[in-house]
Amino acid sequence: MTRTKIYAHRGDKGNYPENTLLSFRKAVEEGVDGIELDVHLTKDNQLVIIHDETLERTTNGSGFVKNYTLSELQQFQANTADLQDFSDELHIPTLREVLELLKPYPTELNIELKTNEFTYEGIERLVLETVKRYGKGRKVVYSSFHLPSLIRIKAMDDSALIAWLVLQKIPHPVDYIETFNLEAIHLHYAIFLEDITYWKEVLPQLRLWTVNDEQALKKLITLCPAAIITDLPDIALKMQNPKNDSLQCNNSLSKPYLL
């Protein structure tokens, strides 16, 4: 039976500090199908996992990520006062550290390249090289709002799986999949729910983000997109329990669009 996969958005973000080793570890221990994370480039060309271009929202540091070296960044920790027992898992991790953490698990990985504000020259090659070295055998999907980054990834490695992040309705989504050889479109779930039939032809190529409303989770699980990306992976996994017959995937809405 086809099943919608559950991806943990920045790890188990609903329960632990986002984009930390702690958040990723907890998510894989819960049994998620995939992890989504965000990658930036430091002043000394190291790949670090953090969502924002700046440090203030999620850490006890300040300023732009790109203005720090890796060693300087790793003096900072996630903004939290009640998880000090896990302090060794609360620093800003590198992509290598996350790949090393995932080694015992079959978890898929969605790496979002945060190149829509700063293009970070050379980041695409560095990401590919790091995954090749430390993530061998793992399914990795590279996503970005910045389509040129995905085109560069594909030009460097034709076997790489790329997914375009979309925040609006796009004309003829099949054409985008075909033209840019996309493995998937990562679409905001509210745009999808506004007009489900519009997207039905590419439904098996959609990963929907970021679904934190429980009613929306229930509905989407039954509609069978490729994956749901959520801050609440523990709740989504419980909903998807095989014993819950009312929330089984019904893929009658569409057939896969095949390249």
How many separate domains does the chain show? 1
DSSP one-letter string for 13-28: TTTS-TTSHHHHHHHH
Report residue 99's pLDDT band, with 50, 70 and 90 as the boundaries: very high
Give me the pLDDT at residue 19, please. 99
**Who's near 54: CB < 8 A, 6+ residues apart?**
62, 63, 64, 65
SS3 36: strand
- What confidence category does residue 231 fall into, taking pLDDT thresholds of 50, 70 and 90? very high
Averaged pLDDT score across all residues of the chain: 95
In a domain, 12, yes or no: yes
Domain annotation covers residue 115: yes
Residues 6 or more apart whose CB falls under 8 angstroms from that of 53 comprise 40, 64, 65, 66, 114, 117, 118
Least confident of 20-24, 98-102, 169-173, 252-256: 252-256
Contact, 46 vs 94, CB < 8 A? yes
pLDDT value at residue 245: 66
Task: Map residue 239 onto helix, strand or coil.
Answer: helix
The arithmetic mean of pLDDT across residues 25-54, rounded, is: 99
pLDDT of residue 252: 57
Bridging pattern class, strands 161-166 and 184-188:
parallel
Residue 72 lies in a domain: yes
In a domain, 195, yes or no: yes
Which of residues 186 and 251 earns the better pLDDT score? 186
Give the whole-number percent of the chain exceeding pLDDT 70.
Answer: 94
230 pLDDT band, cuts 50/70/90, is very high
Look at residue 258 and tell me if it is in a domain. Answer: no
pLDDT at 259: 36
Tokens of 119: 């293009």
**What value does the mean pLDDT take over residues 129-134?**
99
Residues taking part in catalysis: 9, 51
pLDDT (mean) for 48-64: 98
Eight-state DSSP code of residue 85: G
pLDDT at 258: 40
How would residue 242 be classed by pLDDT, with cut points 50, 70 and 90?
Answer: low
Q: Band the pLDDT of 247: cuts 50, 70, 90.
A: confident
With both helix axes pointing from N to C terminus, report the angle between 21-30 and 95-102 in degrees, rounded to the nearest 10: 30
254: tokens are 């569409």
Sign of CA dihedral 120, 163, 186, 32: negative
What CATH number should be reported for the domain holding residue 142?
Answer: 3.20.20.190
pTM: 0.95
Q: Which residues contact 52 (CB under 8 A, 6 or more apart)?
A: 58, 65
Euclidean distance between CA atoms 125 and 152, whole angstroms: 8
Residue 250: which pLDDT band, with cuts at 50, 70 and 90? confident
Residue 103 has pLDDT above 60, yes or no: yes
pLDDT, tens digit (0-9, with 9 covering 90-100), for 177-202: 999 999 999 999 999 999 999 999 99
- Whether 43 is in a domain gets the answer yes
Percentage of the chain with pLDDT > 90?
Answer: 88
Please check whether residue 259 lies inside any domain of the structure: no
Query: Residue 207: pLDDT above 70?
Result: yes
Checking if the pLDDT of 142 tops 80, the result is yes
Q: Which helix (H) or strand (E) segment is 193 a member of? A: helix 189-194
Domain that holds residue 14: 5-253
